[in-house]
Structure 1
C-alpha cells in the first residue's frame, strides 16, 4: 500500500510536467495554426455576447419598411453538410466580380438585403451575395441574436464561405464586407478565399491577431471602427494596424466618434453622418481595386 501511495503522486507530477512540455512545444502549438487562430478570433468575439453591456447596446432592430428587394434567395451546395442559403443580386451584365456580404449578429434580415441591393446599385456589373452563416435563423431581439451567434461553428462558417467561393467560379474576383459579427468574418473570409480576394472591408469586427494567418491575405483591408466602442476598442484597432504592418498588404483604418453599430440603420444608435462617410470610403476603396 505504501508503494501505491507514494508512487501515484510521483507519476501525477511526472505526467503534469510531460503535458506542459508537450503543450509548450512550438511544433505542437502550431499544428493546424490557421484553424486554431481562426477559432480563437471568432470565438473571442462570440464570447463578448456574455457581457451584459455588449448585449444591451444591441437594441432590438427597428422595423424595415423597404421590402421591395431586387434580389432573390438561393441555395448552393456545401461539401459534407447541408446546403447554404444566400441572398443573391445578379449584375445586369454577366460579370466575374462578386461582393460577399456577411450579416451582423441579427442574421440575414431585411436590412442586410436592403444594403445588398444598395451595393448592387452602386457597383455596376458586380454580383452581390449576402451569405447566411446562421443557416436560416434570423433574430429580432438581442437574446436570440446572442444564441444564434454563439451557436455558429467555425468549421461550418468556413465551409459556407468556401462553398460560396466555389459557386462564384475559379476566375471570380471577390470582395468582402460585413458588420459586427460579419465584420470579423469579412476578414476571415478574405483569408479563406486566398488569391481571388481583391478587397476586404470590416465594420467594427474582431480583427485577426495571428500575424501568420494575416500574412495569408492576398488583398488590402479597410477597417472601420468606432472610437466609443468599449469592446472592439481603439486599442484593438491600433494593434490590428501594427500587426498588418508586418504583412504585405495595406490596412486603411478609419475611426469615427461613434458607438458600436453606428453604421447599422436598424440600430437606434445609428449615426447617419459617420455611416455616410464610412460608406464613401468603402465605395472608393473597392473602386480603386477593381
Structure 2
C-alpha cells in the first residue's frame, strides 16, 4: 500500500476512539492495514520486521511499541496507528518472528521461547534505526504491555532513550542496571495484579531511587491487562486515564 493510501486509512479512523477500534476486530484490522511493513538487518546480523506508522507532520518524536505475549497482532498495530494520529512516528516491533498466538498456551510458549539476547539485539537495532529515520527528530521513547512492558524497560537500559513507559511489565532490575537509563520512566500498574504486584513495583521504585533516576508511578484499582479492550479484565476508565498520562509523558519528553 502506498504511503498516501496508508495515511488515508489512518485519517479515516481519526474520529473513532482508540478503545472502540481495539474492541472491534474489523476496525483494528483496518487500522493495522494503514501501517507499513519495514525490515532491517540487526547489529547481530539477523533480519527482523516491524510495522511503521508515520504522522502527517514530520519530523516527529518516535515511539517503539512492544507487544504483549500474544505477539504483533492487529491490536498492537492499532496502538501504533493511534500514536501516529497523535503526531508521533510509531514502530510496532515483532519479537516473535512473525508468530502470533490467540490462546494463552500458545502465547506462553512464544514468550518462553524468546531468546533474551536476540530480543535485545532487535530492540537496540530498531532504536538506532529510528534515531536516524528521516521522519524522526532523533528523540525516541519506548512503550510496552505485559511481556512488552518488561521489554520496554530492558530496551531502554540496553539502548538509552528519552522516555520509557511500562504497562504492568516485569521491572525487577537492580540499580546498577537502571543507571544506564537516559530518560524518565512512567509506570502503570494494577492493584489486583497477582504477579506484577506491589512488592515488585515497590522494589523497582527503591532501585530507581538508588540509581538517581526519575520514576512516575501510577496505581489503578484494576487487574493485569486492564488497558486491553479484548481482555476480560479490561477497565475502560483506567485505560483511558493511563492513555492520557502516557500521551502527556511522551509529549513532554519527545516533543
* C-alpha contact (below 8 Å) 1:62/1:267 kept by paired residues: no
What is the alpha-carbon root mean square deviation over aligned residues?
1.6
Three-state SS of the structure 2 residue aligned to 1:65 is helix
State the number of aligned residues. 226
Shift of 1:63: 6.5
Deviation at 1:249, TM superposition (A): 1.9
Post-superposition shift, 1:143?
0.8
Alignment of 1:61-72 (within 5 A): 64-66=25-27, 67-69=29-31, 70-72=34-36
Residue of structure 2 in register with 1:115 after alignment: 79
How big is each residue's C-alpha offset from its partner over 1:119-165, in whole Å with a ceiling of 9 and x where there is no partner? 1112x1x2100110111000011111001000000110011011102
Query: Does 2:204 align with 1:240?
Result: yes
2:156 aligned with 1:202: no
1:261 to 217, 225, 247: 225
Match of 2:237 in 1: 273
Partner of 2:130: 168
Deviation at 1:283, TM superposition (A): 1.0
Normalised to the residue count of structure 1, the TM-score between the two structures is: 0.74
C-alpha distance in 2 between matches for 1:208 and 1:90? 33
In the alignment, does 2:55 pair up with 1:94? no
**Counterpart in the other structure of 1:156:** 118
Corresponding position of 1:128: 90
SS where residue 118 of structure 1 aligns?
Answer: helix
Counterparts of 1:92 and 1:133, CA distance in 2: 27
Runs of 4+ displaced beyond 4 Å: none
Give me the whole-angstrom Cα distance separating, in 1, the residues matched to 2:100 and 2:216. Answer: 32
Q: Is the CA contact 1:64–1:266 (under 8 Å) kept in the aligned structure 2?
A: no
Q: 2:159 aligns with which of 176, 193, 215?
A: 193
Q: CA deviation at 1:108?
A: 0.3
Which one has a bigger Cα radius of gyration? 1
TM-score by length of 2: 0.84
SS of the residue corresponding to residue 267 of structure 1 reads coil
- 1:226 aligned to 2:190? yes
Structure 1 residue runs without a partner (length 5+): 1-60
Deviation at 1:94, TM superposition (A): 3.2
Alpha-carbon shift at residue 96 of structure 1 (Å)? 5.2
Residue 211 (1) aligns with residue 172 (2):
no
Match of 2:4 in 1: none
